[in-house]
Structure 1
Amino acid sequence: MKVAIVGCGGLGHVHGGSYGRIAGMQVVGVHDLVEERARSLADKTGAAVYDSFDAMLEESGCELVSVTVPSYLHKEFTIRAAAKGKHVICEKPIALKVQDAEDMIRACREHNVRLFIGHVVRFFPDYVHMKRNVENGALGTIGTAHAKRAGGHPADARPWYADESKSGGVVCDLMIHDLDFLRWTLGEVRSVYGLSRKAEGIEYASATLVFESGAVANVEAHWGYPGAFFTAAEIAGSTGVVRSDSTQAKSLQIRRLEADSPAGVVEVPQSPGFVTPYTRELEHFVDCIKSASEPLVTAQDAVLALELALAVRESVRTGKAVSLQETRQERQEGWTCSS
């Protein structure tokens, strides 16, 4: 299968490197407004550099497009690719507005192409293991959960992250990973309450989620953390606890000659396995195209993760808890990650 990549920053390089590890995949085109970034990815993948996205769609022969542009551009490039009959793998968040996300899904459906959203945490072994322990009853009745991820401020590498109208801020860009994971693992959320603090070079947010099951989770996201990027999660039930902490020593450590991301780009979470979660994710999506099967994370899952992020932001704005059921229509019509 031939794939083209639009957006040649850190995640564009991650996608490019991952496709190179998947049998039968060929990166045939790359495009970025910054030619140097495009040429760097082209050197890595052997792909042609295109001066325009439209030219890449028309001339490269691609069947699939990886959309790894800034979040506020996801809708535009997804719909343009779908209109040309290309399947799309788009990085999270699916969009910054629920309506935009639904427009993306509709466009892909109308043009009979598949849309996949890169909620990669579902492919991290530790998180898969935690979900499995919940599903098989090893933890008993789930009472509480905690999740946190923190790292340097991505605006230090890419200034657009500092503009919430383009990135959605720390909630829509970073916390959304754990919002999706917790909903995937613990079920639908009844209500959320959010807090947020910002200072120069720092953005922190926390949210308390109450699930329909009665379980309660606390989620934290921190940009500008003074240290290396890390993640941590814990789920506690009546008969056991399962936890993951990326700062703890790992029993398996692998060093590769070449890193997936070039220097001077935004940090992305890593896993110690030889096959990265990003490669597993992209390989899974490609297999879903070939087999016409449903993916582990659907586009609708990505919409629901976005809705949770929007609810956190709305709670931060109003200082009140937000009921998901009562305010779903209001969120779809009025709330956006850029407001």
Structure 2
Amino acid sequence: MKIAIVGCGGLGQVHASCYAKVPDVTVVGVCDIDADLAKALADKTGAPAYASFTEMLIETGCDVVSIALPSFLHKPFTVQAAEAGKHVICEKPIALNLQDAAEMIEVCEKNKVRLFVGHVVRFFPEYKSMKQKIDAGALGRIGVAHAKRAGGHPSEVRAWFGDDNKSGGVVVDLMVHDIDFMLWALGKVRSVYGFRKRDGLLDYASATLLFESGAVANIEAHWGYPGPFLTTAEISGSKGLLRSDSRKSKSLQVSKVATAENQGRVIEIPQSPGFENPYELEIRHFIDCIRDQHEPIVTAQDAYNALEIALAVLESDRTGQAVFLEQISGEELQ
């Protein structure tokens, strides 16, 4: 399988490293308007560097295009790749508005190519373990969930992150990770209440999601956080509690309520961190889905749904009111 990569920055390099570990996959071209970035990745992969995406599509004969570009460019490059008959592996978020996301899905379906969106959190072992335990009924009826994701402001490295019209800001770019996880784990959302505060390099947002099941999730996202990058998640139910904190040496703790079986003791069961790179697991999975025509763990529709909730958070912050999902069904949020 022949792969072409457009966008040779950090995530483009990650994609290239992952493809190098997948059997029978070859990177045949890399493309970036920054000639130095393109040359560096070309030297790393042994593939030719291109300044023109059109030329790369024509000359390489690639089967798949990896799109590791700024978010505002996801739609035009996905559409061009799909119309050229190429499968697409696109970084998250799928797009910056629902109309673009819907058009991306439609054009890929029309041209009979696959569209995969890199919501990589689903491939992290601690989040995968939480999902499995929820599905197995280990927590009983879910009541409340919390998640937080925080780090430095990425605009200090890439200026486009500081422009909402290009990145979507902390909600669409960062919070969307935990939104997608909560949708995966807890189901459909009934209403959204959001708050966002920006001040220079501070970009903070919080959201409260009420699910159709009655569960409530509180999510925080923070750019400009003064400490190292961190993620936390906690999900509580009628039978127990799941907790994950990247600052701890244990990637996941499970606390269960006292029962006759455990004789009143509260048990924490540590889960070992995975040794495999989640990005590599994600890339391998997407390639396998193309080869075997399987449905992916995260679908393009899942990515659309996560974007819908992220935009509802921003709409709630704008109006000061909760957003009910039936209000936005079939409508585009900007």
Secondary structure at the aligned position of 2:317 is classed as helix
Q: Which amino acid aligns with 1:213?
A: S
Instruction: Give the aligned partner of residue 160 of structure 1.
Output: 160
Give distance in 2, aligned partners of 1:246 and 1:46. 35
Secondary structure at the aligned position of 1:329 is classed as coil
Secondary structure at the aligned position of 2:29 is classed as strand
Instruction: Give the aligned partner of residue 275 of structure 1.
Output: 276
CA RMSD of aligned residues (A): 1.3
Instruction: Give the aligned partner of residue 312 of structure 2.
Output: 311
Q: Which amino acid aligns with 1:281?
A: E
Deviation per residue, 1:23-66 (Å, 9 max, x gap): 11111100001011111111221111012000100011210000
Instruction: Give the aligned partner of residue 216 of structure 1.
Output: 216
- Which stretches of structure 1, 4 residues or longer, exceed 6 Å deviation after superposition? none
Give distance in 2, aligned partners of 1:193 and 1:162. 23
Give distance in 2, aligned partners of 1:251 and 1:96. 31
The structural deviation recorded for 1:112 is 1.1
From the superposition, tell whether residues 251 and 216 of structure 1 become closer, same or farther in structure 2 (CA, over 3 Å). closer
The structural deviation recorded for 1:22 is 1.0
Give distance in 2, aligned partners of 1:230 and 1:23. 33
Instruction: Give the aligned partner of residue 58 of structure 1.
Output: 58
Q: Which amino acid aligns with 1:142?
A: I
Deviation per residue, 1:261-309 (Å, 9 max, x gap): xxxxxxxxxx953321101001101001011111111101110000000
Unaligned runs of 5+ in 2: 253-271
Give distance in 2, aligned partners of 1:250 and 1:134. 19
Contact map agreement 2:139 2:241 (CA 8 A) in 1: yes
The structural deviation recorded for 1:250 is 4.2
Give distance in 2, aligned partners of 1:213 and 1:49. 50
Instruction: Give the aligned partner of residue 144 of structure 1.
Output: 144
Give distance in 2, aligned partners of 1:156 and 1:51. 25
Contact map agreement 2:94 2:101 (CA 8 A) in 1: yes
Percent identity over the alignment is 61
Give distance in 2, aligned partners of 1:184 and 1:22. 27
Contact map agreement 2:126 2:251 (CA 8 A) in 1: no
Structure with the bigger RCO (C-alpha within 8 Å, sep 6+) is 1
Give distance in 2, aligned partners of 1:174 and 1:56. 30
Q: Which amino acid aligns with 1:21?
A: K
TM-score, normalised to structure 1, is 0.91
Unaligned runs of 5+ in 1: 253-270
Contact map agreement 2:251 2:273 (CA 8 A) in 1: no
Instruction: Give the aligned partner of residue 261 of structure 1.
Output: none
Instruction: Give the aligned partner of residue 31 of structure 1.
Output: 31
TM-score, normalised to structure 2, is 0.92
Instruction: Give the aligned partner of residue 260 of structure 2.
Output: none
Instruction: Give the aligned partner of residue 299 of structure 1.
Output: 300
Give distance in 2, aligned partners of 1:29 and 1:288. 22
Give distance in 2, aligned partners of 1:173 and 1:277. 18
